[in-house]
């Protein structure tokens, strides 16, 4: 077992923090959205019930508390991803909005006709569509880095594309559909050396692998709270300060301004320049509690637990006849297993699993270009997190066997 | 877990039979009408070829791939349509198709069940694709 001396997660104790498990479900869809512990919902409830008020503007006590808790999350996130300053931590609704913010505010100013944008075939639609819209508007070109037969990015092709001096390189730290852990450190270094601005989509990275944005060296890093034990509606864009300073606002209106006169407006300082309108205050506070929870477990221990579960599941599924596994070997795989069964459509498997209260994803996983590349319409996907236990994997195996019995 | 396949209340024997041994499966040469629809969310595809003579569906074939529900639904529908006057086929609706399937369809699977009806409506009758809302209900 490859725990590297990391603390072992006490999964039984962890599961007690998640009331949803009292329903008896086996939850194998954390790459889609994670479950949330009482600590997170409790922090949110505390805000809604005890100091609900708007931030940054009211002169009474509960609003000061709300503002403080809201801004506390920024420092927690800064520390979690090791950013240099809280000015570099922008609240968004999630990864999708974070990437759209960059495509809009940075892209419209910096991407010109004839420029090259490099993405990868592993990317989620949220790291494809905003760039397609930008490229169409600006007359820029998009190239996709392909995968090899193991579902790993072809680094030789990536280097060839870098030789064409792309304006932007944007890729996922971890593939949501195959679980491939990309060599982000090497890829960012190579892309920066080629003069590109680099965005790393950390939606599947931050919750499971963690990140040190300064060591990684990327210009932008985007992730979602709801995939890391936090609520929906709160996510993060990290951006290097000098880039954020030079960018125009994304949305505009209240709270993002310094002064508004009929003759014109001056914008607020970072990070508030990018936070127009009343924000998802309760959700941001919940995200802070999620960061606390994960930091308390320790990301080394989180990784070690996911490796153990993934190894267990990979072996259990490998033993099943008629089952095809997609994606990399265990060494380069995060807690995601995509597979298909001979003669059984993933949706039929998911329906049968659901009858056993096993929550399994079936579909294209918002990665249709990848599905096309693999030559499949859909796969079934099991994904794991800090609360996943082997018993849930066993129940999945039971559902698969039941499906095979029905469809034999 | 102790039930046999024949006892399954959702994957009934006739549904699995239509899935594994689809009726009227394949293509027609020079069809009078041909149309295909897909359900990108789950990757189901159903297409139908029609031969129409004197207002009657003389022959029909379907092709496609996808889950048991979408494919069995298409197979069942072609059986029903073969030899049917167009005017009568026009009256087939959502309830007929679901009734023919004879199982409880959850909201998550309704699009699978009705994909073949969409092919019939949009393709063969050139009706506007206005039943999306109905399917979503």
Tokens of A54: 């708007």
From residue A259, give the alpha-carbon distance in Å to each of A67, A274, B15, B18: 20, 15, 67, 69
What is the distance between the alpha carbons of residues A26 and A20, in angstroms, rounded to a whole number? Answer: 10
Q: Do A398 and B66 touch (CB under 8 A)?
A: no
User: What range does the domain containing B99 cover?
Assistant: 10-136
Looking at per-residue pLDDT, the higher value among A107 and B134 belongs to A107
Tokens of A163: 């030789």
**Is residue A5 included in any domain, yes or no?**
no
Model confidence band, residue B126 (pLDDT cutoffs 50, 70, 90)? low
The pLDDT value recorded for residue B128 is 39
Across chain B, mean pLDDT equals: 86
Name the domain count of chain B. Answer: 1
Nearest to A405 among B5, B43, B109 (CB): B5
Helix, strand counts (H, E) of chain A: 15, 15
Q: Do A347 and B1 touch (CB under 8 A)?
A: no
| Residues A327 and A194 occupy one common structural domain | no
Beta strand ranges found along chain B (DSSP E) = 33-39, 44-53, 56-65
Q: Do B42 and A362 touch (CB under 8 A)?
A: yes
Q: Are A267 and A114 in contact (CB under 8 A)?
A: no
The pLDDT value recorded for residue A99 is 98
Q: The domain that contains A124 carries what CATH number? A: 3.40.640.10
Model confidence band, residue B118 (pLDDT cutoffs 50, 70, 90)? very high
Chain B residues within an 8 Å CB radius of A362: 42
List the beta bridge partners of residue A326: A338
**Is residue A376 included in any domain, yes or no?**
yes
The pLDDT value recorded for residue A305 is 98
| Residues A155 and A201 occupy one common structural domain | yes
Q: The domain that contains B62 carries what CATH number? A: 3.90.1010.10
**Chain B, nearest residue to A341 by Cα:** B67
**Is residue B2 included in any domain, yes or no?**
no
The pLDDT value recorded for residue B5 is 53
**Is residue B31 included in any domain, yes or no?**
yes
Nearest to B43 among A364, A402, A408 (CB): A364
From residue A228, give the alpha-carbon distance in Å to each of A109, A174, A203, A374, B59: 32, 14, 9, 28, 55
> For the range A89-92, what are the long-range contacts, defined as Cβ-Cβ under 8 Å and sequence gap of 24 or more?
A89/A236, A89/A238, A89/A271, A90/A236, A90/A237, A90/A238, A90/A239, A90/A244, A90/A270, A90/A271, A90/A274, A90/A275, A91/A234, A91/A235, A91/A236, A91/A271, A91/A275, A91/A279, A91/A280, A91/A284, A92/A222, A92/A235, A92/A236, A92/A237
Q: The domain that contains A362 carries what CATH number? A: 3.90.1150.10
What tens digit of pLDDT does each residue of B6-57 get? 578 899 999 999 999 999 999 999 999 999 999 887 789 999 999 999 989 9
| Residues A182 and A231 occupy one common structural domain | yes
| Residues A352 and A257 occupy one common structural domain | no
**Is residue A189 included in any domain, yes or no?**
yes
Chain B residues within an 8 Å CB radius of A343: 20
- Spell out the per-residue pLDDT of chain A, length 408, in tens: 444 556 899 999 999 999 999 999 999 999 999 999 999 999 999 999 999 999 988 789 999 999 999 999 999 999 999 999 999 999 999 999 999 999 999 999 999 999 999 999 999 999 999 999 999 999 999 999 999 999 999 999 999 999 999 999 999 999 999 999 999 999 999 999 999 999 999 999 999 999 999 999 999 999 999 999 999 999 999 999 999 999 999 998 888 888 899 998 899 999 999 999 999 999 999 999 999 999 999 999 999 999 999 999 999 999 999 999 999 999 999 999 999 999 999 999 999 999 999 999 999 999 999 999 999 989 999 999 999 999 999 999 999 999 999 999
Q: Is A125 on the interface with B (CB under 8 A)?
A: no
> For the range B122-125, what are the long-range contacts, defined as Cβ-Cβ under 8 Å and sequence gap of 24 or more?
B122/B35, B122/B37, B123/B33, B123/B34, B123/B35, B123/B36, B123/B37, B123/B48, B124/B33, B124/B35, B124/B48, B124/B50, B124/B86, B124/B89, B125/B90
Residue of B15, B38, B68 to mutate for A, most A C-beta atoms under 10 A = B68
**Is residue A1 included in any domain, yes or no?**
no
Decide which of A296, A318, A339 is a domain's last residue. A296
**Is residue B99 included in any domain, yes or no?**
yes
**Is residue B5 included in any domain, yes or no?**
no
User: What range does the domain containing A384 cover?
Assistant: 11-32+299-407
| Residues A244 and A369 occupy one common structural domain | no
pTM: 0.93
**Is residue B4 included in any domain, yes or no?**
no
Tokens of A232: 């929906």
Burial A74-93 (b: 16+ CB within 10 A, else e): bebbbebbebeebbbbbbbb
| Residues A28 and A122 occupy one common structural domain | no
From residue A16, give the alpha-carbon distance in Å to each of A22, A37, A313: 9, 9, 23
ipTM value, please give it: 0.85
What tens digit of pLDDT does each residue of B64-116 get? 999 999 999 999 999 999 999 988 998 899 999 999 999 999 888 899 999 99
| Residues A216 and A286 occupy one common structural domain | yes
What is the distance between the alpha carbons of residues A353 and A392, in angstroms, rounded to a whole number? Answer: 11
Residues found in chain B? 137
Model confidence band, residue B123 (pLDDT cutoffs 50, 70, 90)? confident
Chain A residues within an 8 Å CB radius of B45: 377
| Residues A133 and A75 occupy one common structural domain | yes
Compute the nearest-CA separation of A363 from chain B (Å): 5
| Residues A253 and A355 occupy one common structural domain | no
Distance of CA A137 to the CA centre of its chain: 27
Name the domain count of chain A. Answer: 2
Taking the CA atoms of residue A97, residue A98, residue A100 and residue A106 in that order, the dihedral angle to the nearest 10 degrees is 150
Beta strand ranges found along A122-166 (DSSP E) = 141-145
What is the distance between the alpha carbons of residues A119 and B85, in angstroms, rounded to a whole number? Answer: 52
- DSSP 8-state assignment for residue A343: T
Burial A199-231 (b: 16+ CB within 10 A, else e): bbbbbbbbbbbbbebeebbbbbbbbbbbbbbbb
| Residues A275 and A335 occupy one common structural domain | no
**Locate tokens 């070690």: which residue?**
A304
| Residues A72 and A198 occupy one common structural domain | yes
Decide which of A266, A296, A326 is a domain's last residue. A296
Q: Do B11 and A347 touch (CB under 8 A)?
A: no
Give the 3-state secondary structure of residue A25.
coil
| Residues A232 and A310 occupy one common structural domain | no
The pLDDT value recorded for residue B136 is 37
Nearest to B42 among A343, A347, A398 (CB): A347
Decide which of A276, A296, A316 is a domain's last residue. A296
Q: Do A377 and B10 touch (CB under 8 A)?
A: no
What is the distance between the alpha carbons of residues B94 and B73, in angstroms, rounded to a whole number? Answer: 11
Nearest to B41 among A345, A352, A363 (CB): A363
Residue B132 has pLDDT above 80, yes or no: no
């Amino acid at each position: 077992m490859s725990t590297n001396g990391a603390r072992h997660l006490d999964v039984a104790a962890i599961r007690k923090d998640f009331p949803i498990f009292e329903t008896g479900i086996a939850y194998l869809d954390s790459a889609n959205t994670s479950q949330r512990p009482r600590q997170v919902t409790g922090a949110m409830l505390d805000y809604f019930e005890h100091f609900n008020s708007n931030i940054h503007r009211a002169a009474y006590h509960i609003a000061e508390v709300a503002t403080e808790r809201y801004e506390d999350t920024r420092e927690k996130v800064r520390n979690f991803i090791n950013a240099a300053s809280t000015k570099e931590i922008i609240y968004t609704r999630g990864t999708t909005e974070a990437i759209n913010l960059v495509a809009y505010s940075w892209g419209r100013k910096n991407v010109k006709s004839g420029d090259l944008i490099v993405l990868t075939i592993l990317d989620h639609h949220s790291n494809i569509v905003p760039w397609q819209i930008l490229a169409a508007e600006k007359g820029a070109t998009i190239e996709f880095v392909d995968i090899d037969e193991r579902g790993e990015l072809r680094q030789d092709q990536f280097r060839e594309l870098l030789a064409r001096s792309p304006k932007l390189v944007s890729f996922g730290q971890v593939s949501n559909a195959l679980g491939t852990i990309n060599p982000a450190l090497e890829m960012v270094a190579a892309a920066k050396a080629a003069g590109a601005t680099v965005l790393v989509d950390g939606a599947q990275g931050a919750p499971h692998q963690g990140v040190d944005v300064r060591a990684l060296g990327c210009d932008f890093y985007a992730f979602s709270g709801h995939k890391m034990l936090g609520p929906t509606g709160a996510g993060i864009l990290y951006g290097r300060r000098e880039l954020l300073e030079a960018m125009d606002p994304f949305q505009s209106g209240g709270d993002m301004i310094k002064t508004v006169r009929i003759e014109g407006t001056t914008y607020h300082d970072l990070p508030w320049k990018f936070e127009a309108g009343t924000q998802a205050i309760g959700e941001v506070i919940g995200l802070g509690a999620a960061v606390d929870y994960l930091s308390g477990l320790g990301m080394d221990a989180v990784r070690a637990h996911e490796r153990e579960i993934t190894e267990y599941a990979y072996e259990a599924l490998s033993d099943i006849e008629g089952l095809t596994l997609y994606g990399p070997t265990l060494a380069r795989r995060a807690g995601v297993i995509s597979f298909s069964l001979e003669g059984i459509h993933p949706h039929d498997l998911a329906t049968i699993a659901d009858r056993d209260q096993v929550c399994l994803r079936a579909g294209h996983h918002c990665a249709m270009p990848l599905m096309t590349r693999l030559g499949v319409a859909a796969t079934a996907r099991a994904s794991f997190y800090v609360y996943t236990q082997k018993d849930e994997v066993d129940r999945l195996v039971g559902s698969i066997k039941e499906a095979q019995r029905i469809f034999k | 877990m102790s039930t046999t396949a024949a006892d399954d209340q959702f994957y009934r024997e006739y549904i699995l039979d239509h899935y594994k041994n689809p009726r009227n499966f394949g293509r027609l040469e020079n069809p009078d009408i041909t149309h295909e629809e897909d359900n990108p969310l789950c990757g189901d595809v159903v297409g139908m070829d029609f031969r129409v003579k004197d207002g009657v569906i003389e022959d029909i074939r379907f092709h496609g791939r996808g889950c048991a529900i979408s494919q069995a639904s298409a197979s069942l529908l072609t059986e029903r349509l073969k030899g049917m006057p167009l005017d009568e086929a026009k009256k087939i609706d959502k309830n007929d198709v679901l009734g023919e399937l004879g199982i409880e369809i959850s909201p998550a699977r309704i699009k699978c069940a009705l994909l073949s009806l969409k092919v019939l409506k949009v393709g063969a009758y050139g009706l506007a694709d206005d039943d999306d809302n109905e399917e979503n209900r």
